[in-house]
Amino acid sequence: MISKLVPPHIAAIEPYPPGKPMEELERELGIVGSIKLASNENPLGPSPKALEALREKLGTLHRYPDGSGYYLRRRIAEKFKVPMDGVVLGNGSNEIIELVIRTFVRPGLEVIVPNPSFLVYRLSVQCVGGAVVSVPLRDMRIDLEGVLKAVTDRTRLIFINNPNNPTGTVLPKSEFEAFLDRVPADVLLVIDEAYIEFADPEKTFSGLDYLDRRGPWIVVARTFSKAYGLAGLRVGYGVMDPAVADYLHRVRQPFNVSTPAQAAALAALDDDAFLEKSRALVREELPRLYERLREMGLEALPTQANFFLIRMPVDAKVIYQAMLREGVIVRAMNAYGLPDCIRINVGTPEENGRFLRTLNKVLQDLNAPKGND
């Protein structure tokens, strides 16, 4: 039996729910023109500058990519005023997360993961046989007191997702600084800033501002998947001390970021107009969505990201299924331990309107007394 060959820590992993392509779902349900608000993607499409740069590179696809990611790393370093030697590119920031874990964690060591947060942290730690130490959120925010209490002499990494997926909450700068003063020196902090471009800088911090203070004990992960609209290309980056970067480079595949991904990300990084448009959409649409949801008697949780949670009067999976049949794809939060919540990202005004109408209909259908035919 093949299962005899699989190490127990691998056999114990619960598979990430695969999900079907939208086209396949539509075919099965006999619908067309469905909309997806389930993966926190950018509804405006990719950055136009990125698309143009990508097209220019298509003729070079017979060549391997630049394995050093030179131009993209150089521009990231310039833009964020960090040393180029401390920038590592990844196949999405998911790969940065995975590289840090593969580099620093082994069986017997612990990783602190707030819960609920991004499911990939847990999965990646399990893959290397490390122990996940789960710290529950407090009032939907990462509980830094709880995190400190969970530290032991086996703790190697602490994950902080800011803003946190799926809650959309951020940590105030003052709270983070007080935490920094108390967290033991030899624990590596991983600050995942996948949604930082959407957050109000007055309300929170960026890990980039603490690289000097924390020395090699902090890694900041960022992505082109959300605000820059390039989720399908798979490109993200980590910023860290060059000594840490050196180890990650040993672990990563030599050509982990494709040529089109490098070219598109480089262009997207300077597409200020697109970034501002993406932020403005969220800024303008959120109040409208919250207002309408309130009128429907629903609670939407405050957010500093491009997505938010909405409490449902029934199990979220029921809502998910019913919305799906109407061609509106949302995320049920059951797998995150929030069975009464759905999560949506802000869509275009048209998508948001359709979402609201569909949710209203679905809730009314659930309330309507069942016909007894």
Ligand X SMILES: *Cc1c(COP(=O)(O)O)cnc(C)c1O
Q: Provide the binding-site residues for ligand X, judged by CB under 6 A.
A: 40, 92-94, 118, 161, 165, 192, 194, 223, 225-226, 231, 236
Provide DSSP, 157-194. Answer: EEEEESSPTTT-----HHHHHHHHHHS-TTSEEEEE-T
Smallest Cα–Cα separation from 333: which of 341, 321, 324, 344?
341
Angle at 101 between CA 97 and CA 107, to 5 degrees: 155
* CB 30 to ligand X: min, Å: 31
Pick between residue 194 and residue 322 the one whose CB is nearest to ligand X.
194
Whether 289 and 324 have beta carbons less than 8 Å apart is answered as no
Shortest distance, position 31 Cβ to ligand X, whole Å? 26
- Hey, what are 270's tokens? 């300077």
Rg value, the chain, Cα: 21
At 327, is the secondary structure helix, strand, or coil? coil
Nearest Cα residue to 19 out of 343, 341, 332, 300: 332
Beta carbons within 10 angstroms of residue 302's beta carbon: 13
- Least separation in angstroms between residue 295's CB and ligand X is 29
| Nearest distance, CB of residue 171 and ligand X, angstroms | 14
Closest CB to ligand X among residues 160, 187: 160
Minimum distance between the CB of residue 235 and ligand X, rounded to whole angstroms? 7
Give least dist CB 92 to ligand X, A.
2
Beta carbon nearer to ligand X, 346 or 362: 346
Cα–Cα distance for residue pair 106/156, rounded to 1 Å? 10
Using the minimum distance from each CB to ligand X, give the nearer residue, 89 or 267: 89
Q: What is the number of the residue whose Cβ is closest to ligand X?
A: 92
Nearer to ligand X, 112 or 322 (CB): 112
DSSP β-bridge partners for residue 114: 135
Decide whether 125 or 363 has the Cβ nearer to ligand X. Answer: 125
